[in-house]
Amino acid sequence: MKLSYTLTLADFKAAFRLHRRQFVTERMIFVLCLLLTIVCMAIPLLLGPNSQLSQFCVSVGWIFLSLSILLPTNLIYQAHRSYKQSFPSARTERISSTEIDDEQILTTIPGVSETKYLWNGVVGFAQNETVTLLYRAKHQFLLIPTRAFSPEQRTELNDLVARNLVRKQK
As a residue count, the chain comes to 170
77 and 108, same domain (yes or no): no
Q: Whole-angstrom Cα distance, residue 146 to residue 164?
A: 20
Instruction: Specify the pTM.
Output: 0.73
- Do 81 and 117 have their domain in common? no
Residues 97 and 157 in one domain: yes
**Same-domain pairing of 113 and 56:** no
Let me know: does 76 contact 83? Beta carbons within 8 Å.
Answer: no
Q: Is there a contact between 8 and 144 (Cβ–Cβ < 8 Å)?
A: no
Domain of 106 in residue numbering reads as 2-8+90-169
pLDDT band at 170 (very low <50, low <70, confident <90, very high): very low
Asked if the model's pLDDT at residue 39 lies above 60, the reply is: yes
Give me the mean pLDDT over the 23-48 stretch. Answer: 83
Same domain flag for 45 and 113: no
> What CATH number does residue 163 fall under?
2.30.29.30
For residue 132, the SS3 value is: strand
Same domain, 71 and 104: no
Instruction: Give the DSSP H or E segment for 125.
Output: strand 124-127
CA distance 70 to 8: 24
pLDDT single digits (tens) 16-33: 889 888 877 777 888 888
Task: Kindly state the average pLDDT of the residues 135-150.
Answer: 90
Last residue of a domain, one of 62, 86, 110: 86
Residue 167 has pLDDT above 60, yes or no: no
Count of the separate structural domains present in the chain: 2
Q: Which of 40, 67, 86 is the last residue of a domain?
A: 86
